[in-house]
Chain A
Amino acid sequence: MKHLLSTSDLSLVDTLQLLDVAEEMAAVGEREIKKLPALRGRTVVNLFFEDSTRTRISFEAAAKRLSADVINFAAKGSSVSKGESLKDTAQTLEAMSADAVVIRHPASGAPARLAASGWIDAAVVNAGDGTHEHPTQALLDAFTLRRHWARITGTPSAGTDLGGMRILIVGDILHSRVARSNVWLLTTLGAHITLVGPPTLLPVGVGSWPCEVLYNLDDAVATRPDAVMMLRLQAERMNAAFFPSTREYSRNWGFDDARLALLDVMGLDDTVIMHPGPMNRGLEISSAAADSPRSTVLAQVRNGVSVRMAALYLLLSGRGHHEENRGAGGALPRTANRMTQEQA
């Protein structure tokens, strides 16, 4: 694994390795000293072209727990807002010898562009690109689901997949990078996915995705899901004629108190409610649902640090071995190694 751009690139073996390493990282987080020397001397740049304090601090905590040096590069207040191109920004980071670039960008495909362009040699981690993907969010969701699934089936979490699990993903699928990453990743892990939302917020072409599609949330809940993942409704969709009003949206596709009660009535004691945050309480999720024991919202946040540690560790430690094998010796500076590679 050179970059982490999309969950559709991850095989089952890759995914299980990431989740298993994340379990080990989670164990580190339980210790009194929550720090490993694994990435000492490595530089991780958080390159954020879009505001996301949550994701940025999660990556920052992950990199610091692995002893990496962290540089936060926020597009606002930097040269990017003065018209500097992605290419120039990338080359600046390359000149500073970044080992990994964690990029959040409003344009779909920007991380893939960065990885394939040759502008930069660092590992690229997609921290959310436009309406395309958010792979580490899907990994933390999978991690959370796997722990839950292991607990109710009485098996150890490490090494297992999500075979047999039924998961609903509800809301604005069309514009959701979280939904896309989860569809590919959770199906790779063997889960059965049903997408639920108004037809205007499901992409044309969704029929070719490896999942079911339903328009009616109550019909979907009747299929007895093991997990219900509610997506955030972005403010800019609310006035763009995708649906008549936020109240109608909330009635039809919000996880409200009535639907929460229905889970109890149906005897679905182990069904969890997920949300990637930040939540619009009272819109796509009621406060009672968000704060109920079924809610995994805070566990998801906690697990985010573990899976991001795993991703950075696997990308950068694997990379180190790679370069040492190819170059004349591990002690050579990076540039010398790169020259050797270019000549090869």
Chain B
Amino acid sequence: MTTNSTRYLIRGASLGGGEPADLLIVDGIIAAVGSDAARDAGSSAHSIDAEGLIALPGMVDLHTHLREPGREDAETVETGSRAAALGGFTAIHAMANSSPVADTAGVVEQVYSLGRASGWVEVRPVGAVTVGLAGQRMAELGAMAESRANVRVFSDDGVCVSDPVLMRRALEYVKAFDGVIAQHAQEPRLTEGAQMNEGEVSAVLGLTGWPAVAEESIIARDVLLAQHVDSRLHVCHVSTAGSVDILRWAKARGIRVTAEVTPHHLLLTEDLVRSYNPVYKVNPPLRTATDVQALREALADGTIDVIGTDHAPHPSEHKECEWAQAAMGMTGLETALSVVQHAMIETGLMDWEGFARATSGSPARIGRLKSQGRPLGKGEPANVVLVDPAARWTVEPDKMATKGRNSPFAGTVLPGRVTTTFYRGHPTVLNGALNSPLPTDPEEPAWNI
């Protein structure tokens, strides 16, 4: 624990979008809420005027690509976690497709330590399901779970665990330590060379199609496997209306499945591909307006549990090329809150309470993060974000903290801005700008940092 004894009094923030109240943060904990807060603050407390701002629990991303180790030119744990703090996150899950792949205790501990040393957010490594993401042999899931990184989420993201036997075994095996398999649902044979959603637009553009059935058939298989072995399944970046139907059916049957949607799939459609600008190339691909509407409704009614950014930074040369040669992925950490506000809250589909559930409570529960996703109550860990919902800003990728410049929202005016992020009681972001990382605990042994 941090020995930081600085006190912060947040005055007049609307708690979770409800009534305005004061919050007192002391030693990493929410020490008081409401009228007690000002009384207990004392004269030394830093006061933050939060009138008109909304206080939310720190956001938790189940799906972040930090690229380190291996592609430090694209992103590092440091730059990615800075971007996360600016976006209102207090915890992120680093996907396993680094180089080397995070398929051993050694690699996940390295990523975990880099996150601790950076101190902007809690960095939780995701472990690979199979050795080298090759889909052949199960990685040492137990070793990763027992490591200092304490891994609970396992995924071959970027690649589907398509072998049904391997998927079944992985689902079963992680029950031993309450883990979850996060599946990138993409039937590989149906998507060989796939470039974009298969449909009217791909037919005109002459780009190889990525049919919705390639996602839906894997989700259908996996929910049935999860039911058969009574395991937890998490479905990454759901992108089609048909997937939503299958998830709704599975949940109605009591299958232990959770699902995620990216901000970009809640807003953008395949029509953008007509420009052949690879900034819109992403996997799973942008789909149709019908799919977007179904995803929004599913998030609103809880069929989809969480927002996952699938933040995927790439160096510019991987996007400044022909569509077919370009890398797949978009940055997302610094635009997630705004895009979700625009797509869900300003459309009346969701309130801020629902937002907090989908961006904090549910992802923390799925990832088994004990000190994240907690309500803004007395005695809770002080992972708190202040948001100005009335702000409007223009997305400028060059000014972002991430190394990636591949934002599909460049030039777009979006609502909502994170003004302050408290991570374990420390303001990582103040006045909309990076402040300082959480100081490392001098009493913590060096090997643990």
Contacts and interface: CB of A to CB of B under 8 A. Distances in A.
Interface of A: 8, 85-87, 105-110, 112-113, 116-117, 129-133, 175, 177, 180, 203-209
B206 A85 contact: no
Interface in B224-263: none
A318 to B, nearest CB: 24
Contact of A109 (B199, B205, B208, B211): B205
22 contacts: A85-B320, A87-B317, A108-B207, A108-B323, A109-B205, A109-B207, A109-B276, A109-B322, A109-B323, A110-B323, A116-B276, A117-B320, A133-B206, A177-B206, A180-B206, A203-B203, A204-B209, A205-B199, A205-B200, A205-B203, A205-B204, A207-B200
In the complex, the 4 A-B pairs of residues with the closest C-beta atoms, listed nearest first: A109-B276, A205-B203, A132-B206, A131-B206
A20 B208 CA distance: 36
Nearest to B201: A205
Given A108-B206, A132-B207, A205-B204, 12 more contacts: A8-B204, A85-B320, A106-B324, A107-B322, A110-B322, A113-B322, A130-B207, A131-B206, A131-B207, A131-B208, A203-B202, A205-B201
Interface of B: 195, 198-209, 211, 275-277, 317, 320-325
By secondary structure, the B interface counts as loop
Contacts of A109: 205-207, 276, 322-324
A113 B321 CA distance: 8
A107 B200 contact: no
B277 A113 contact: yes
Contact of B276 (A112, A175, A177, A206): A112
A87 B321 contact: yes
Contacts of A177: 206
B322 A86 contact: yes
Contacts of A85: 317, 320-321
Contact of A86 (B208, B209, B211, B321): B321
A116 B321 contact: no
A206 B203 contact: yes
A87 B207 CA distance: 21
A209 B195 CA distance: 21
A113 B211 CA distance: 24
A143 B24 CA distance: 78
Given A85-B320, A109-B276, A116-B277, A204 B325 contact: no
**Residue from B198, B209, B276, B324 having most chain A Cβ neighbours under 10 A:** B276
A46 B10 CA distance: 65
B276 A113 contact: yes
A130 B200 CA distance: 17
Contact of B275 (A116, A129, A205, A207): A116
Contacts of B200: 205, 207-208
A38 B361 CA distance: 70
A85 B211 CA distance: 29
A43 to B, nearest CB: 23
A163 to B, nearest CB: 24
Nearest to A180: B206
B286 to A, nearest CB: 15
Contacts of A86: 321-322
B198 to A, nearest CB: 5
A22 to B, nearest CB: 25
Nearest to A109: B276
A116 B200 CA distance: 23
Given A113-B277, A116-B275, A132 B205 contact: yes
Nearest to A8: B204
